[in-house]
């Protein structure tokens, strides 16, 4: 039903509600629906991001697989840059280095992209990811320096 309502968009935060605590016998149907919805919306980054977010939070074991499906369905670089592969929010203790977590997550995405068939189609994608990883690693180093300097010696 929701897949047929092209004029409606359900934000990823709200859409997760439909896929939390699914009965084991319904997980296959839920994943089939999400793959269908993704394939139908492979030019709409908002809707693709909704599916990626649902997989990241509700089906984390298959998150990298759905990223692969997404990229094989649409290899457009501009579309790729609009995708949110990593959480935009993290919860944890005050000393949690979010930039380091993001860099680690992006390295996993880079590994997925590196293993895609027709690797030449994804050279710019990998370059973009490498830039993002370097940016996050620099932020992580800066955060470690700030934490170190906070201590009274």
SS3 89: coil
Q: What is the pLDDT of residues 95-146, one digit of tens each?
A: 788 899 999 999 999 999 999 999 999 999 999 999 999 999 999 999 999 8
Short-list 20, 43, 35, CA closest to 68:
35
* 28 contact partners, CB below 8 Å, separation of at least 6: none
**What are the residue ranges of helices labelled H in the chain?**
12-15, 27-40, 45-58, 63-73, 77-82, 98-114, 123-150
pLDDT at 153: 59
pTM of the model: 0.83
Instruction: Tell me the C-alpha distance between 23 and 41, whole Å.
Output: 26
- What are the structure tokens assigned to 148, written together? 């170190």
């Amino acid at each position: 039903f929701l897949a047929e309502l092209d004029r409606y968009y359900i934000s990823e935060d709200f859409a997760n509600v439909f896929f939390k605590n699914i009965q084991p016998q319904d997980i296959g149907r839920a994943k089939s629906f999400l793959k269908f919805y993704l394939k139908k919306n492979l030019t709409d980054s908002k809707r693709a991001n909704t599916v990626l977010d649902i997989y990241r939070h509700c089906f984390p074991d298959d998150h990298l697989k759905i990223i692969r499906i997404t990229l094989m369905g649409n290899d457009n670089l501009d579309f790729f840059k609009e995708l949110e592969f990593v959480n935009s929010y993290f919860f944890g203790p005050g000393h949690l280095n979010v930039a380091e977590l993001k860099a680690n997550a992006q390295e996993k995405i880079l590994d997925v992209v590196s293993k895609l068939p027709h690797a030449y189609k994804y050279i710019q994608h990998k370059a973009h990811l490498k830039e993002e990883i370097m940016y996050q690693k620099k932020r992580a180093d800066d955060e470690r320096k700030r934490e170190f300097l906070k201590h009274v010696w």
